[in-house]
């Protein structure tokens, strides 16, 4: 898991763009699960978005904008890495990464000019991290 000091690294405008892009990513497979909605809601809370900003983000579930167009609003390198991480997490919020989501993540990496192989390794690392965390939580339940 990556721990970013959001307010110090990402401008308020970029925070909204990040949340919008993550909501678009969550709706990429044409259905938004409760876990994906919850993930986006937690992200908005973490970034302390204003009510009107949250409404703008939630609209992306119903009428998603173009992911890459929204992502281009994020300029700072740290903000782009944060967005890419959150996008992978959003895609995995329902515990599966479907073809359309993987293609969107790779397009996002190209937009940010990330090395394609490194981007694929990053996606795999996030998947592994989330799966490991899930296994650990199940072990705790079983204890």
Which single residue is written with the structure tokens 């983000």?
57
* For residue 2, pLDDT beyond 60: no
Does 6-142 carry CATH code 3.30.70.20?
no
Please give the structure tokens belonging to residue 80: 């782009």
- Is the model's pTM score more than 0.75? yes
* For residue 94, pLDDT beyond 80: no
Instruction: Give the H or E element holding residue 63.
Output: none
- pLDDT (0 to 100) of residue 4: 56
Domain boundaries, the chain: 6-142
pLDDT tens profile 96-123: 787 788 999 999 999 999 999 999 999 9
Please give the DSSP secondary-structure letter assigned to residue 112: T
Number of neighbours of residue 140 by Cβ within 10 angstroms: 8
């Amino acid at each position: 898991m990556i721990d970013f000091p959001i307010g110090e690294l990402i401008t308020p405008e970029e925070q909204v763009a990040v949340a919008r892009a993550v909501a678009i990513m969550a709706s990429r497979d044409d259905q938004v699960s409760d876990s994906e909605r919850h993930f986006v809601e937690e992200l908005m809370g973490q970034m302390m978005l204003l009510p009107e900003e949250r409404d703008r983000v939630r609209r992306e579930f119903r009428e998603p904008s173009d992911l890459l167009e929204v992502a281009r609003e994020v300029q700072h390198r740290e903000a782009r890495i944060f967005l890419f991480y959150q996008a992978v997490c959003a895609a995995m919020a329902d515990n599966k990464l479907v073809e359309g989501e993987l293609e969107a993540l790779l397009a996002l990496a190209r937009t940010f000019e990330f090395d394609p192989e490194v981007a694929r390794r990053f996606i795999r690392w996030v998947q592994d991290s989330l799966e490991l965390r899930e296994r650990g939580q199940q072990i705790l339940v079983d204890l």
